[in-house]
Structure 1
């Protein structure tokens, strides 16, 4: 099981995982191995969803990404109101 931060534009009926563009142009899906890590590393107000690891392939079909990054600390300058900006 993985915890995925939700993009600010997500809705309950259409959740969108947070995908970031890297400096080299690739896109990265942010995933967290535990809820406390997600809240510590993304901000205490970060919305999230719990996803089974095998379901990442289905997510990738809906929201393409190149790489998966686990337990990334999102710097404060990329946060707003206690969540990823």
Structure 2
């Protein structure tokens, strides 16, 4: 499954950088759909999510594997996560 409007690789925010199994972060949109947040470059991820955001690089052709593990309705490309939802550098 490929989407010609997406770049060949995407940078996806993850919930944790230390686990063996990485889960990408999904967000609920205002209309109730589940969104996969994706970035076309690392600098855009840092701008959109903050410098403490764990992430993983994924080839676009492998998005179907992510969908199988964590279904989503829509892909949000190069979005912005509000400050209150961002990861911080501290672990409590």
Could you say which TM-score interval applies, normalised by the shorter chain? Answer: 0.7 to 0.9
Tell me, yes or no, if structure 1 residue 65 matches structure 2 residue 69.
no
> Could you list the runs of 4 or more consecutive aligned residues of structure 1 that deviate by over 6 angstroms after TM superposition?
none
Size of the alignment, in residue pairs?
Answer: 81
Q: Normalising by the residue count of structure 2, what TM-score does the alignment of the two structures yield?
A: 0.80
Gaps of 5+ in 1: none
| Aligned residues: CA RMSD | 1.5
Greater share of residues in strand: 1
**Compared CA separation, residues 17 and 80, structure 1 to 2 (3 A):** closer
Gaps of 5+ in 2: 1-8
Q: Normalising by the residue count of structure 1, what TM-score does the alignment of the two structures yield?
A: 0.86
Q: Who wins on radius of gyration, i.e. which is larger?
A: 2
